[in-house]
Amino acid sequence: MQDKRSLHNIIFIILSTLIITIFHYFTTANRWDIHEFLRRLYYIPIIVSAFRFRLKGGLLSSIVISLLYAPHLLLPYVVSFGHGDITILNQFLEIIMFITIGTTTGFLVESDYKKKKMLELQIKRLTDLENYTQNILDSMTNVLIAVNRHFKLQSINKEGRRLFQLKDSFIGTGLDNILIEYERLEEILSDVLLKNKKILNRELRFTLKSGQEIYVKLIAYPLYNILDEVEGVVVVLEDISKIRKLEKQIRRAEKLSAVGELASGIAHEIRNPLGIIKTISQTINSEIRDEEIKEGLEIIIHEVNRANTVIKGLLDFAKPYVHQKKYHSLDKLISEVLLITDKYIQQHHVEVNYASKEDRIILLDVDKLKQAFINIIFNAVQAMPEGGSLDINLSIHNDITKISFKDTGKGISKDVIEKIFEPFYTTKDTGTGLGLAITHRIIEEHNGCIEVDSKLGEGTRINIYLPIEEKGVKND
C-alpha cells in the first residue's frame, strides 16, 4: 500500500517535471511571460517531493530541476531584453530558491517525521510492556485480582477469570460478582486499605458464585499509584483445594487402617468365646424341654448370630485384599453386580441406568470390588425408600477409570459426609455402619480413590477412580 503510494508520487514528480521542462523548451525564447510562469510551476514537484520523500526528496528534486533549468541562464544571450544582467541574476536566484525551498521543506518534513517515528516507537514499547506484563500475569497459576478503594474489580488474570467463570465485562463490578461470602473478603481488604498493611498466606475457605467451595491461601497488599497514594488492593489467591482434599483422604485412610487393625484384633478375641457360647447354647437347647429356657436360649443364639455378622464385617474391613487380583473387564464386573442386586433393586422400585462409554480390562480383585460396588448400590437403594433412579457410568479419563453412581435419594448433609467412611457410623436402625468403610478399604487396596458429592433432598453421587494397569482395550 505504502509502496504503491510512493510509486504514484514518483511518477507524478517525474511526469510533472518533464512536462514543465518540455513546455519550457518548446516555448519560444521571446515569450518571457510564459517562461516566468513555467519556472514557478517547478515548485510543485519540488514541494511534493520534499513532503513525500523528506530531505533527500526535496534536495534531489531541487538539484535535478535546477540542472534542467540551468540552460535558461543563457537565455538573455539568445534573445536580447535589454536588461541582460538582471535577468541572469533572476534566473540564478530562482535556482537558489529551488534548492532552498526543496531543502527547507525537506528538512522540516524530516524532523516532523522523526518525531512521529519516535512517538510510534514509544507507543509500541509501551504496548509491548503492557502485553508482556499481561502475559506474565496470565501465565501465573495463581489468581491475581486488583480492586480499587471501593472494592470494585479493576483487573483479574486469566486463571482468575477461569476460576470465577467471568466474562469480559467484569471491570468495575463488585466482589459479589465472584464470591458468595464477598463481605468477608471486603473486611479483610479494608484492613489492608485502612491500616496499610500486608496479609501473607492466610488460609480461607470461600464459596464461588457457581456454588463450588474452594480453599485458598490469600496474600493481599496495598496498590500504590505513581503519586505513592494507596489506590486499591492487590490480592493473590493460591487454590489449595486439591491439597486439602488429598490431606483429608490421607487422614481418613490413616484413621481407617488404625481402626481396622484394632477392630480385627478385638474381633478375633470375641469370635472364639462367642463360638463357645453359641455351641453350648445349641447343645443345651437340643437337650432341654423347658419352653421358657428354650426361648431364652434361642434369643441368645440369635443375638450371637447378629454379633457374628458384625464381626465378619469387621474382619472383612480389616483383611488385606491384594493377593486375589487378576485381569478382569470392569464392564463385565458391573453387569455381574447388577445381576446380583437386581432383585433387591426391583423390590425397592428403583430404576437403574447403566452406561459404559469405554471398557478396560484391569487388574482387580473381582470378589472384593463386587462387594464394594454392592455396598454403594445398597446404600443408594436404601436412600430411596419411595423409589427413584440410580445412574451408573463407566468412563475413562487420562488412563484413570471412573465409575460413578448417582442416585436421586435423600442426600447426605455436609456434617454427615465427613463421617460416612468411619467404621460403625450409621444413620440407619439396622445398619452396622461398615459398608462404606469396607468399600473405602477395597478401593484403597486397588490404589484408587473415592469421592462423594451430595445435596440434601436431591441425591448423592459417588465417584470411584481406579488406575489402569492395562492388559488390553475393549471398545464397545
Per CB under 6 A, residues contacting ligand ATP are 375, 379-380, 383, 407, 409-410, 412, 420, 425-428, 431-437, 460
* Of residues 168, 161, 121, the one with CA closest to residue 145: 161
Distance of closest approach, residue 407 Cβ to ligand ATP, in angstroms: 5
**Nearer of residues 122 and 413 to ligand ATP, judged by Cβ:** 413
The phi and psi torsions of 346 (rounded to 5 degrees) equal -65, -40
**Nearer of residues 49 and 454 to ligand ATP, judged by Cβ:** 454
105 contact choice in ligand ATP, Mg ion, none (CB below 5 to 8 Å, kind-dependent): none
51 contact choice in ligand ATP, Mg ion, none (CB below 5 to 8 Å, kind-dependent): none
- Contacting range for Mg ion; rule: CB under 5 A; set: 144-152, 365-373, 431-439, 458-466: 431-439
| Candidate residues 61, 379, 439, 460; the one interacting with Mg ion per rule CB under 5 A | 379
User: Site residues for Mg ion, window 64-93 (CB under 5 A)?
Assistant: none
Distance of closest approach, residue 379 Cβ to Mg ion, in angstroms: 4
426 contact choice in Mg ion, ligand ATP, none (CB below 5 to 8 Å, kind-dependent): ligand ATP
Taking CA atoms, 75 is separated from 78, 123, 125, in Å, by 5, 55, 58
Helix (DSSP H) and strand (DSSP E) numbers for the chain: 13, 13
Cell numbers that stand for 254 in this block: 490413616
* Residue 433 is a binding residue for Mg ion (CB under 5 A): no
**Nearer of residues 365 and 407 to ligand ATP, judged by Cβ:** 407
* DSSP 8-state class, residue 71: G
460 contact choice in ligand ATP, Mg ion, none (CB below 5 to 8 Å, kind-dependent): ligand ATP
**Nearer of residues 297 and 437 to ligand ATP, judged by Cβ:** 437
383 contact choice in ligand ATP, Mg ion, none (CB below 5 to 8 Å, kind-dependent): ligand ATP
One-letter identity of residue 136: I
Give the up-direction half-sphere exposure of residue 135: CA atoms within 13 A in the CB hemisphere: 6
**Nearer of residues 330 and 438 to Mg ion, judged by Cβ:** 438
* Of residues 379, 391, 372, 362, the one with CA closest to residue 426: 379
Distance of closest approach, residue 126 Cβ to ligand ATP, in angstroms: 59
* Of residues 238, 285, 26, the one with CA closest to residue 143: 238
- Contacting range for Mg ion; rule: CB under 5 A; set: 189-197, 240-248, 336-344, 429-437: 429-437
Distance of closest approach, residue 467 Cβ to ligand ATP, in angstroms: 24
* Residue 435 is a binding residue for Mg ion (CB under 5 A): yes
Can you tell me the distance from the alpha carbon of 393 to that of 388, in angstroms, rounded to the nearest whole number?
17
Q: Assess contact for 403 and 370: CB atoms under 8 A.
A: no
One-letter identity of residue 38: L
Distance of closest approach, residue 380 Cβ to ligand ATP, in angstroms: 4
Distance of closest approach, residue 347 Cβ to Mg ion, in angstroms: 16
Question: What does the DSSP assignment read for 109-140?
Answer: HHHHHHHHHHHHHHHHHHHHHHHHHHHHHHH-
Burial class (CB in 10 A: 0-12, 13-18, 19+), 256: buried
Residue showing the smallest CB distance to Mg ion in the complex: 435
Q: Assess contact for 336 and 400: CB atoms under 8 A.
A: no
Beta bridge partners of 454: 460
45 contact choice in ligand ATP, Mg ion, none (CB below 5 to 8 Å, kind-dependent): none
Residue showing the smallest CB distance to ligand ATP in the complex: 435
Can you tell me the distance from the alpha carbon of 198 to that of 192, in angstroms, rounded to the nearest whole number?
6
Q: Give the binding site for Mg ion (CB under 5 A).
A: 379, 435
